Amino acid sequence: MPEPSQPDAPSQRPRVVHFVTGGFSGATQVAVDLCRAARRSGPFEPVLVLRRKRHTPMQRVEALRAEGLEVHLVSGWAHAVTVAQLAALLRELRPQALLAHGFPEHLLGRRAGLKAGVPVLVQVEHNTRERYTPWSRWWTRRLAQHSAAVVGVSEGVRQVLLRLGLPPDKTLAIPNGIDLMRFADADARPFDRRLPQILMSARFARQKDQPTLIRALARLREQGLRPHLVLAGTGSGRAEQACRALAQRLGVLDQIEWAGHVGDLPARLMQTRIFVLATHWEGMPLALVEAMAAGCACVASHVPGVEGVLEDGVTGLLVPEADPEALAAALARLLRDEALAARLGAAARARAAQAHSQGQMLARYEALLAAMVRPSQ
């Protein structure tokens, strides 16, 4: 059975459910941010439903509930069970709209929404590369016919959705945003007083590419550069162990801090000079936007989803995917040229403030829902 939350007193606002993975990925963070912002103000009452994963951290779930968010969990054991439990929960909650975030949750969520008779269904896609099979492509196209809108979290994601054959008149881009207030102290942290270290914040997973960064660290060591590297993030224990073994083999283990989950990541970013996002694909990388807002000099893989966020040579440096030599060369430039790194960091911070605020993101989702959701009776 679904695991219940203890909601606040009933609200007269139309209820909107956000369904997303309980793996606390970037998609989860966006859904949480939307729920937090909507709860504080706005025309809709948010409910968060997580699809339980093997590694869903219950302490983080309880922390969200302690904030006052209404949070429920449904089984992630099998797709049919997820759909059945979610449909039952939706019949109980009776929301006006369901936003189903990420793959495969957007398939499971909308199937459950159809069973429960939810009036408005919205797909929110967070990545430019997912494991679509012919069967899941068919389901995606079919469910789009019953959906009020299909949202890509960047223009790059929207283009991928169109190439999947989704209807252009329903498919739009709403870029992810972040809470810029968490980085309000960045201007009080002069670049020359920050630690000359490199930080990467990402899950250990197939999508992310910590191994290329570790190989780049070894190339830097051959050039006489030995920066401290912070790897923040949890995820697959097997992937992290493989990275540790690679670092040991390349002789750079002593330069790496395996930080795990960092509770106050903005503070760590604002005391760091260089941020790296080594990745194979993205949708709209929140970790990169946060590093930009913190005023870090950013280096990232030149892949869809990143190229629309970081402008090469203006707000950061882009390097070819899975290319340790190119990544090492970019890092060497920033380590040796503090003025360049400081200029890129300042430009990145300005761009984040201009284009990636949480307020802008929330206003776009609210406008979308306002056009589709009837007021509560």
Taking alpha carbons only, the member of 300, 206, 209, 203 closest to residue 261 is: 203
Q: Is residue 4 part of a domain?
A: no
Rounded to whole angstroms, the Cα distance separating 238 from 241 reads 5
Task: List own/partner pairs for 361-365 with CB under 8 A and 24 or more apart.
Answer: 361/30, 361/33, 361/34, 361/174, 361/175, 361/176, 361/177, 362/34, 362/37, 362/38, 362/42, 362/177, 364/174, 365/34, 365/99, 365/174
pLDDT score for 263: 87
Q: How far apart are CA 42 and CA 102, in angstroms?
A: 24
In the block, tokens 């200029």 appear at 343
Residues 146 and 270 in one domain: no
Report d(CA 41, CA 47) in Å as an integer.
14
Q: Are residues 171 and 197 in the same domain?
A: no
Question: Is 6 a member of any domain?
Answer: no
Q: Is residue 265 part of a domain?
A: yes
Task: Count CB neighbours of 64 within 10 A.
Answer: 17
| 25 within a domain of the structure (yes/no) | yes
What does the pLDDT look like over 15-70, one tens digit per residue?
999 999 998 888 999 999 999 989 988 899 999 999 999 889 999 999 999 999 99
Residues 147, 225 within the same domain: no
* 153 and 205 fall within a common domain: no
Sequence-ordered alpha helix ranges (H) in the chain: 26-40, 58-66, 79-93, 105-116, 134-145, 155-163, 210-222, 237-250, 265-270, 286-293, 324-336, 338-355, 358-370
> Which residue in the block uniquely carries the two structure tokens 């050039």?
223
% of the chain residues with pLDDT over 70? 96
Q: What is the mean pLDDT of the chain?
A: 94
**Whether residue 109 sits in one domain with residue 35:** yes
pLDDT in tens, 235-252: 878 999 999 999 999 999
The total number of structural domains in the chain stands at 2
Q: How long, in residues, is the chain? A: 377
Asked if 371 contacts 11 with a C-beta cutoff of 8 angstroms, the reply is: no
pLDDT at 2: 66
Looking at residue 377, its pLDDT comes to 40
Q: Do 123 and 99 fall within a single domain? A: yes
Give the CATH number for residue 103. Answer: 3.40.50.2000
Do 343 and 263 share a structural domain? yes
Question: Is 202 contained in some domain?
Answer: yes
Q: What is the pLDDT of residue 11?
A: 59
Residues 232 and 213 in one domain: yes
Q: Which residues form the domain of 285?
A: 180-355
Residue 103 in any domain: the answer is yes
Spell out the residues 6+ positions from residue 329 whose beta carbon is closer than 8 angstroms to its own: 319
**247-267: per-residue pLDDT in tens?**
999 999 999 999 999 989 999
What is the structure's pLDDT at 139?
95
Mean pLDDT score, 88-93? 98
Mean pLDDT value of segment 132-160: 94
Q: Which two tokens stand for residue 188?
A: 């009080």
pLDDT at 16: 98
172, 184: one domain: no
- Res. 5: pLDDT tops 60: no
Q: Within a domain: residue 118?
A: yes
Phi-psi region of 368 (alpha: psi -120 to 50; beta: other; left: phi over 0): alpha
CB 93 within 8 A of CB 17: yes
Do 149 and 245 have their domain in common? no
Average pLDDT over residues 349-363: 94
Average pLDDT for residues 230-239, to the nearest whole number?
Answer: 91
359-362 contact pairs (CB < 8 A, 24+): 359/37, 359/177, 360/175, 360/177, 361/30, 361/33, 361/34, 361/174, 361/175, 361/176, 361/177, 362/34, 362/37, 362/38, 362/42, 362/177
> Based on the domain organization, do 335 and 366 belong to the same domain?
no
3-state secondary structure of 89: helix
User: 160 and 60 in one domain?
Assistant: yes
Q: What sign does the CA torsion over 160, 161, 164, 166 have? A: negative
pLDDT of residue 4: 61
7 within domain boundaries: no
